Structure 1
Amino acid sequence: MAEPSPASGASNKPERLPAVSVLIPGKNEAENLPELIEEIRVALGARTFEIIVIDDGSDDDTPAVVTALMRDRTWLRLVRHTASCGQSAAVRTGLLAARAPIVVTIDGDGQNDPAFMPKLIDALEAGGPRTAIAAGQRLKRTDSGAKRIASRFANWLRGAILKDGTRDSGCGLKAIRREVFLLLPYFDGWHRYLPALAIREGYAVTHIDVVDRNRRHGASKYGILDRGVAGALDLFGVWWLRRRRKRVPSPTEISLDG
């Protein structure tokens, strides 16, 4: 029987999976994405990677901009929500699509600096398999004064209740082990509680200081008051989840060989 022709599309070469999957959730960030994607490429140049843009129901040129970039960037992918589902849903969609064992999240507005990605990945790897997250914590915040005050209070309250050692839960820059990410219970607003949820599963979290930047184009899609009530309910819910897990099992499989 004749061997299949290479022209048929069959290949005996295994596909090389990336070492890092970068998730960019965002809505209406068409102006910010080209520069951000290039910055990520430069920052991760020493690693194999993929970048997944999760378009959360944009009504601007985001799909056209990203698909144009994909033509000569085989490592760039686009996943779309037909309607906006929120940042947590977008992060989860990217997580399920990711192919690498380490996932890095970054906001689509360009305020997070990709130059800190290698530090986060290195810190995660240095912590060993029981370190689940290397979380960025912003210095020199560039948000408005009112937003900084609201964020500072929310982080203080969350830290006092959850005791997760995280000063800045809202920073979009995080490096996470995908296998642990998949264990965490999902709910809208979940992306703000990842350290506490990872600790609940018995894993450690490490923190890296990062420097925030000014948004280059457009306006923030997130307000101060619109998530206050939901945030309070989420905080109570995560506290309840932590309380309901008294002990994390440490199982050992017993084999006949010993």
Structure 2
Amino acid sequence: MKYEFTIVVPLFNEQENLLRVEKELSNYLKIATKETCILFVDDGSQDNSLNIIKDICDRQPHFHYISFVENQGLSAAIKAGFDYAATEYIGYIDADLQTDPEDFNLLLAKIKDYDLVTGVRSNRKDSFTKNMSSKIANGIRRSFTHDQMDDTGCPLKVIRADYAKRIPMFKGLHRFLPAMILLQHGKIIQVPVRHYPRIAGKAKFHLLNRLVGPFLDCFAYLWMKKKYINYKVNENA
């Protein structure tokens, strides 16, 4: 089968969620608007996650995986998904399933006219502390990037693969994906998507790394913006 769309699922110690991920993504494949495959990226899990995704991939023909030798962080896992995907479009969803795979169809409906379509979580089902820290972090980041995105941390995105593969990723840059598409003179848009509470597993981010990390990463982004190489070929032979 010639796939058009790869859904990257980065994960670290998500054994409690993975069978539900299999069920929900299998159901999505039945209604997907493009021929779709799933790519798990195991970020050096220390629980039974890797064995579970191997079993899933054995019984699900459209599911595949790669695994890291050791934990490298979310940005590295997303970059690996971009590197290994072989389709025109690449999506991304967290293994905690706080967003709905069915909403990929909402994003795919817009991708023809854009280079990145990102979800913005409606009526978020997180704690007050998490919601407020996320709002503050988004405000700080937006003041640096001017990307006009309200929820860059939303774990539901669709990107044109040629743009995704040109992003020079570093740790923390997953928060700046829309801004990095703008650096390539790409077009971005946000679309409201559903949001659910986490029902299994543990969140990997807390107040400190949701505020301090993104603030420091803004300076890395400014350096990247100043040094970014962007060219267009006129002719070649």
TM-score range, shorter chain: over 0.9
Q: 1:50 aligns with which of 20, 37, 45?
A: 37
SS at match of 1:52: strand
Q: Which residue number in structure 2 is paired with residue 206 of structure 1?
A: 189
Q: Which residue number in structure 2 is paired with residue 85 of structure 1?
A: 72
Q: Which residue number in structure 2 is paired with residue 253 of structure 1?
A: 235
Measure the CA separation in 1 of the matches of 2:230 and 2:97.
38
Q: Which amino acid is 2:140 matched to? A: L
How many angstroms does 1:227 deviate by?
Answer: 4.8
Is residue 43–residue 118 contact of structure 1 (8 Å, CA) maintained in 2? Answer: no
Q: Which amino acid is 1:100 matched to? A: T
Q: Which amino acid is 2:71 matched to? A: S
Measure the CA separation in 1 of the matches of 2:105 and 2:173.
24
Q: Which residue number in structure 2 is paired with residue 28 of structure 1?
A: 13
How many angstroms does 1:248 deviate by?
Answer: 5.5
Measure the CA separation in 1 of the matches of 2:104 and 2:47.
28
Supply the RMSD in Å over aligned alpha carbons: 1.8
Measure the CA separation in 2 of the matches of 1:124 and 1:98.
17
Q: Which amino acid is 2:201 matched to? A: G
How many angstroms does 1:157 deviate by?
Answer: 1.5
Q: Which residue number in structure 1 is paired with residue 213 of structure 2?
A: 230
Structural mapping, 1:175-186, within 5 Å: 175-186=158-169
SS at match of 2:188: strand
Greater helix percent: which structure? Answer: 2
Q: Which runs of 5+ in 1 are unaligned?
A: 1-15
User: Of the two, which has the highest radius of gyration?
Assistant: 1
Structural mapping, 1:104-253, within 5 Å: 104-125=91-112, 127=113, 131-244=114-227, 249-253=231-235
Q: Which runs of 5+ in 2 are unaligned?
A: none
- Cα gap change, 1:254 to 1:87, in 2 (>3 Å): closer
Measure the CA separation in 2 of the matches of 1:248 and 1:159.
22
How many residues were matched structurally?
235
Deviation per residue, 1:154-213 (Å, 9 max, x gap): 111111221101000111100001111111111101111010011011101011101211
Q: Which amino acid is 1:240 matched to? A: W
Measure the CA separation in 1 of the matches of 2:231 and 2:69.
40
Q: Which amino acid is 2:12 matched to? A: K
- TM-score, L = length of structure 2: 0.92
Deviation per residue, 1:9-35 (Å, 9 max, x gap): xxxxxxx33111010001111121222
Runs of at least 4 residues off by over 4 Å: 247-251
